[in-house]
Amino acid sequence: MAESSQALLNPPPGTEPALPLLLRPLMLRGLALRNRIVVSPMATYSAVDGMASDFHLVHLGRFALGGAGLVMTEATAVSEKGRITPGCLGLWQDAQIAPFRRLIDFLHEHGAAAGIQLCHSGAKGAGQRPWHGGGPLGEADLAARGEKPWPLVAATSEAFDSGFQTPTALDEAGMAGLIAAYCAAARRAEAAGFDVLELHCAHGYLLHGFLSPLGNRREDDYGGSLENRMRFPLRVAQALRQAWPAARPMFVRISAIDGVDLGWSLADSVGFARALKQIGIDLVDCSTGGMRVPRERSLPARTPGFQVPFASGVRAEAGIATMAVGLIRDPGQAEAILQAGSADLIALGREMLFDPNWAARATVALAGEAGWNAWPQAFGWWLQRRARLDRPKASE
């Protein structure tokens, strides 16, 4: 970040009016974020053998140039058999560290913090990329692209949907092995230089499959009651919190509800968030959905900010910081969410794809002329002058 941008975000006391909340720095443990704007994890399914490439460097690097405070990678598999598709990123081997380090160095050089979301697909793995159909891998995929399915594990031995592979239900040994894989991936993430670690417990993947009664039919200590269904995800989260450096924050992404009055509920999310807070988790990232539900019980209408009430509810009831995500498009809307106390961070996904400079544009929209100091000087200098030329001239 340019020195002038640092001055914008940290003005000497009494010299500048208070910045909008969206633009204020935020401390999380030992990490200082330059603003409250986060690039949400967005799957691109563009890795080869789990390796980040020049595509990921350019794709994610542009968000740092565009002013985001925290840039999250897409879901990153902790084991080769934990991928969602053959194109998923991974951190199951040391060779995958260096490409991430190159990416992180770029993000840091341009003022953004770097976050990684660790994931295991569970019953939703061994799938096609969305543009290849989004179903399970089969003979046609092998013939066309050399992509074949791999064995899956999950909370229970039930296929995610019709035509999907039937996974093996995890036993104690399998759970212990996965906890070790998560922790090994976390140590690689530390070596790569990531600032934030997020554990994926949402969208129907492995850990959500344990949490939700729609995905967990177990009859042992890991099924039935809410306490039992939370047991394995909490074991993973606690092991990761212990493996991850104490000075670096850790998030957990949840699906706050499965559907309307069905499956995992907001009350369940609050209970889970309270337990996460007790083991040192710093923030809950509140999304929704991912399980198969009847159409009439599907999620509320996808209107702007439709998931904000869940972030607000978890924040208020569990007393933990939250991140709001989902159809947040306008800087004023994002600022209003923070001002209302509904969340501590604002995450954007598709809106960032549409406009990688969203954060820098929001800075100008909310902070006025001084907001141009948050743009990289190499092109902000020119664009500021362009904006001045575009202003309506006063009538003579």
Strand 31-33 to 26-28 pairing: antiparallel
How many secondary structure helices (H) and strands (E) does the chain include? Answer: 13, 13
Query: Distances in Å between the alpha carbon of 373 and those of 31, 116, 228, 382, 385?
Result: 22, 28, 51, 12, 13
Could you tell me the residue ranges of all domains in the chain?
24-379
What pLDDT score was predicted for residue 260?
A: 86
What pLDDT score was predicted for residue 394?
A: 53
Rounded CA-CA distance 166/260 in Å is 27
Q: Is 182 a catalytic residue?
A: no
Query: Distances in Å between the alpha carbon of 206 and those of 125, 202, 285, 357, 392?
Result: 9, 8, 17, 34, 55
What pLDDT score was predicted for residue 362?
A: 96
What pLDDT score was predicted for residue 1?
A: 34
Rounded CA-CA distance 68/394 in Å is 34
Rg of the chain, C-alpha, whole Å: 21
Helix 97-109 to helix 54-65 angle (10° resolution) is: 20
For residue 26, give the 3-state DSSP assignment.
Answer: strand
Concatenate the DSSP letters of all residues of 319-379 into one string: --EEEEESS---HHHHHHHHHTTS-SEEEESHHHHH-TTHHHHHHHHHHGGGGGGGS-HHH
Rounded CA-CA distance 337/386 in Å is 31
The angle formed by the CA atoms of residues 121, 283 and 345, to the nearest 5 degrees, is 105
Rounded CA-CA distance 272/201 in Å is 11
CATH 3.30.450.40 correct for 24-379: no
> Which one of the listed residues 45, 182, 205, 222 is annotated catalytic?
205
Rounded CA-CA distance 187/168 in Å is 27
Please report, in tens digits, the pLDDT of each residue of the chain (396 residues total).
Answer: 333 334 444 455 554 558 999 999 999 999 999 999 999 999 999 999 999 999 999 999 999 999 999 999 999 999 999 999 999 999 999 999 999 999 999 999 999 999 999 999 999 999 999 999 999 999 999 999 999 999 999 999 999 998 999 999 999 999 999 999 999 999 999 999 999 999 999 999 999 999 999 999 999 999 999 999 999 999 999 999 999 999 999 999 999 999 888 899 999 999 999 999 999 999 999 999 989 888 778 776 678 999 999 999 999 999 999 999 999 999 999 999 999 999 999 999 999 999 999 999 999 999 999 899 889 989 888 999 998 887 776 544
What pLDDT score was predicted for residue 6?
A: 43
Rounded CA-CA distance 252/229 in Å is 16
Secondary structure element (H or E) that encloses residue 191, with its range: helix 172-192
Spatial CB neighbours of 72, under 8 Å, sequence gap ≥ 6: 38, 39, 40, 41, 115, 116, 117, 196, 198, 347
Secondary structure element (H or E) that encloses residue 284, with its range: strand 283-287
What pLDDT score was predicted for residue 14?
A: 54
The type of residue at 153 is V
Rounded CA-CA distance 253/273 in Å is 10
Query: Distances in Å between the alpha carbon of 214 and those of 172, 224, 292, 346?
Result: 21, 11, 8, 29
Q: Report the Cα 61 to chain-centroid distance in Å.
A: 16
- Greatest pairwise CA separation for the chain in angstroms: 81
Each residue of 161-174: b (16+ CB within 10 Å) or e?
eeebbebebbeeee
Secondary structure element (H or E) that encloses residue 97, with its range: helix 97-109
Concatenate the DSSP letters of all residues of 125-171 into one string: -SB--GGGTSSB--HHHHHHHS------EESSS--SSTTSPPPEEP-
What pLDDT score was predicted for residue 170?
A: 98
Rounded CA-CA distance 20/229 in Å is 40
